[in-house]
Amino acid sequence: MATKSTKTPWMPPDEFGRQLPNGLGINLLVRNVAASVGFATHVLGAESTYDDEDFAYLTLPAIGAAWMLHADHSYSDNRMSGLVRSVQGRGVGAEFRLHGLDPDGCEARAREWGYQLLDGSTDKPHGLRECYIFDPDWYLWVPCRALD
């Protein structure tokens, strides 16, 4: 993972990964984190829990929404980076993360039904086990669980 951050993270990445709640998690790949945080805070009224050149965690407490932003460069070692570079639309850079869902079970069912995987179930350095699965419209779903 390439990093440009000049800040000290507010907590270790693996600790952050383990404390994410179950349910749907949104992670958007963006060209410029600061510009995206500016839009979210000024236009949407979001609060930035933390942001740096590589990553941001944003919330809208009034509606219980939260999402992450990762700069393109921070995904240089992730298979998703090639997809983002190969298209003009940024929507393809969205991951729909399902925290608390068994990635291995989802992977097995996806393979059984013939769905394409970007990456099989893998333990990641941020404290999660993840699997990347495309749906019929090529949206990327990421079931994941915290590592013990």
pLDDT digits (tens, 9 = 90+) for 105-115: 999 999 998 98
Beta strand residue intervals within the chain, DSSP E? 23-30, 47-51, 55-60, 65-71, 94-99, 117-123, 128-134, 140-146
On whether residue 31 sits in a domain, the answer given is yes
pLDDT tier at 137, thresholds 50, 70, 90: low
Report pLDDT for 79. 76
Domain annotation covers residue 7: no
Structural domain boundaries enclosing 120 = 14-146
| 30 compared with 51, residue with greater pLDDT | 51
Q: Quick check: is 4 in a domain?
A: no
**Amino acid 49: pLDDT:** 95
Q: What is the pLDDT of residues 15-35, one digit of tens each?
A: 999 999 899 888 888 888 998
Query: CB of 69 within 8 A of CB of 30?
Result: yes
Under the banding of pLDDT at 50, 70 and 90, the label for residue 1 is low
Q: What is the pLDDT of residue 81?
A: 72
Q: Has residue 61 been placed in a domain?
A: yes
User: Could you tell me the CATH number of the domain that includes residue 33?
Assistant: 3.10.180.10
**pLDDT of the residue at 85:** 66
**Total structural domains within the chain:** 1
Examine the pLDDT at 87 and tell me if it is beyond 80: no
pTM for this entry = 0.67
SS3 145: strand
Q: Any idea which of 76-80, 104-108, 128-132 has the lowest mean pLDDT?
A: 76-80
Is 8 contained in some domain? Answer: no
What confidence score (pLDDT) does residue 14 get?
Answer: 92
In a domain, 64, yes or no: yes
| In a domain? residue 3 | no
DSSP 8-state secondary structure symbol assigned to residue 63? G
Secondary structure class of 30 (helix, strand, coil): strand
Answer yes or no: is 5 within a domain. Answer: no
